[in-house]
Chain A
């Protein structure tokens, strides 16, 4: 697969603050990269450098093979960019605004009309095309920004918080739009909504303090949790000791811990050794002892926990 976006050791300082300490990444055609990180981690700064708005202090960015600093027009022509907060000219209507963007992108007036109707129906803007942008709700303003970014059907899309401020239906709609376009584009979205990563991203990069601290699929990231792949079992209180004893003997299990008790039931969690797959063994061991359980499931983990684990660790290491 062709690499469409490439960042090579991007670095940016603002006065005494180092916002980005050297970020490298690659996004291939067909990939949707989720860009995660706490506020102030350098997500937006990195995206601004990729889009050519900010000049990096060192390092370089390429869009479709064009070095952004050396061939800015070619790079920007292949890029659709939604800046943070989806800024747009408030006194214009979405139609006049998109017409302006279309003219800058070099389309003639028939082509612009065609593209506006395509982009506005994709972004769900049809009903508000003739209203001044400043009178639109936050959700619609965001959609104007998205329509602007996809107007020229670019091979690369960089969207800074595309679903921020949208209601759940609108979020669903935008995610679907991104997923529909994913096949023939390279897309980067920044977000701090972690469910979004599982919903639309084929890969995620977590940055903290201006550095990449994790890179992989949502599944890869969750493997970093110590309880990833653990088996949770719910049994009646009087059987909990027997279950504990039956499982403790299994190899592949480091320990069995009690998570909690309620309504006469106990929840136990068996932790796997080195990410081993233990569900089958657990089920077999319980069946052998004829121990009936109410519930048995494998923990995948929560991305929120991964996020906290990774970013807090990064914070501690820089303070050390």
Chain B
């Protein structure tokens, strides 16, 4: 176990640094901070609400993640396969689990950094009023967990192809479905041709409903377990994909 974490850590360090070797890191971090801010102020009506809370800020995270997170995840494995470095990586004395875990943790930490960089809005709201910082903290936690779920799915899909563009589009599509599946409109459409228990099952997988619960300050164990088990499952699928498809 110690061995496993040590190796995953070494891989995560390398992978995290790799984001900063290209302009990707700067572009992503800038866009993320700018867009989360812009959406909170212009679409969410941060000032018009006249309330000292960050609901309008967090409400748009799922939609931003929809295209920003697949952009972080798409290179994780597709690039290794395209450049052939996967052969180098997988012939080093590490297990596929360590490699998958290390890469995922690096990407998750990167998105975490982007979230941390939005701190000015937290300072602003504290300056303007007296918000419930507990809710803000759990909202950040919920947003981070949801980003992890997006990333794990993106990492798995990235392992299925050599082509980063395909990885991006597929991940965005799959994540789009996970976000939408809880909406009443989508549920009604499914109800027309699916048995009720399937509709309920799909609805319970919705990122949106789990995320909204957390951002409303209801930290239900149920939602946290949902995101963590989705991450675990996607990474498990990722390990299998690497094992099966590394040479193709």
Q: A72-B95, A73-B93 are in contact. Are A88 and B21 (CB under 8 A)?
A: no
**B87 and A76 contacting across the interface, CB-CB below 8 Å:** no
Q: Once bound together, how far apart are the Cα atoms of A79 and B22, in whole Å?
A: 32
Q: A53-B91, A79-B91, A81-B91 are in contact. Are A89 and B85 (CB under 8 A)?
A: yes
Q: Which residue of A lies closest to B19 (CB)?
A: A91
A-B contact pairs, 7 of them (CB 8 A): A53-B91, A79-B91, A84-B84, A100-B14, A104-B10, A104-B11, A104-B93
Q: A53-B247, A91-B18 are in contact. Are A85 and B90 (CB under 8 A)?
A: no
**B88 and A91 contacting across the interface, CB-CB below 8 Å:** no
Residues of chain B lying within 8 A (CB to CB) of residue A79: 91
Residues of chain B lying within 8 A (CB to CB) of residue A100: 10, 14
**B7 interface residue (CB < 8 Å to A):** yes
**A87 and B92 contacting across the interface, CB-CB below 8 Å:** no
Which residues 79-135 of B sit at the A interface, judged by CB distance below 8 A? 83-85, 87-88, 90-95
Residues of chain B lying within 8 A (CB to CB) of residue A72: 93, 95
**B10 and A103 contacting across the interface, CB-CB below 8 Å:** yes
Residues of chain B lying within 8 A (CB to CB) of residue A90: 83
Q: A48-B247, A52-B91, A72-B95 are in contact. Are A85 and B84 (CB under 8 A)?
A: yes
**A53 and B87 contacting across the interface, CB-CB below 8 Å:** yes
**A76 and B92 contacting across the interface, CB-CB below 8 Å:** yes
**A315 interface residue (CB < 8 Å to B):** no
**B85 and A104 contacting across the interface, CB-CB below 8 Å:** no
Q: How many chain-B residues does the 8 Å CB contact rule pick out?
A: 21
Closest beta carbon of chain B to A95's beta carbon, Å: 13
A contact set with B: CB distance below 8 Å: 48, 51-54, 72-74, 76-77, 79, 81, 83-85, 87-92, 96, 100-101, 103-105, 148
**B93 and A105 contacting across the interface, CB-CB below 8 Å:** yes
Closest beta carbon of chain A to B113's beta carbon, Å: 18
**B83 and A73 contacting across the interface, CB-CB below 8 Å:** no
Closest beta carbon of chain B to A16's beta carbon, Å: 14
A-B contacts besides A79-B91, A81-B91, 19 pairs, CB < 8 Å: A48-B87, A51-B91, A53-B90, A53-B246, A54-B247, A73-B94, A73-B95, A76-B92, A83-B87, A83-B88, A87-B88, A88-B88, A89-B18, A90-B83, A91-B21, A92-B14, A92-B21, A101-B92, A104-B7
| A88 partner, pick from B11, B85, B91, beta carbons under 8 A | B85
Q: Once bound together, how far apart are the Cα atoms of A92 and B88, in whole Å?
A: 14
Q: A92-B21, A100-B10, A100-B14 are in contact. Are A77 and B84 (CB under 8 A)?
A: no
**A148 and B88 contacting across the interface, CB-CB below 8 Å:** yes
**Complex interface bits, B1-33 against A, C-beta within 8 A gives 1, otherwise 0:** 000000100110010011001100000000000
Q: Which residue of A lies closest to B87 (CB)?
A: A83
Q: Once bound together, how far apart are the Cα atoms of A103 and B95, in whole Å?
A: 15
Q: Once bound together, how far apart are the Cα atoms of A139 and B27, in whole Å?
A: 33
Closest beta carbon of chain A to B246's beta carbon, Å: 7
**A87 and B84 contacting across the interface, CB-CB below 8 Å:** yes
Residues of chain B lying within 8 A (CB to CB) of residue A104: 7, 10-11, 92-94
Residues of chain A lying within 8 A (CB to CB) of residue B91: 51-53, 76, 79, 81, 83
Q: Once bound together, how far apart are the Cα atoms of A228 and B10, in whole Å?
A: 56
**B247 and A91 contacting across the interface, CB-CB below 8 Å:** no
Residues of chain A lying within 8 A (CB to CB) of residue B246: 53
Closest beta carbon of chain B to A148's beta carbon, Å: 7
Residues of chain A lying within 8 A (CB to CB) of residue B7: 104
Residues of chain A lying within 8 A (CB to CB) of residue B85: 87-89
What 5 pairs across the A-B complex have the smallest Cβ distances?
A91-B21, A87-B84, A83-B87, A76-B93, A77-B93
Residues of chain B lying within 8 A (CB to CB) of residue A83: 84, 87-88, 91
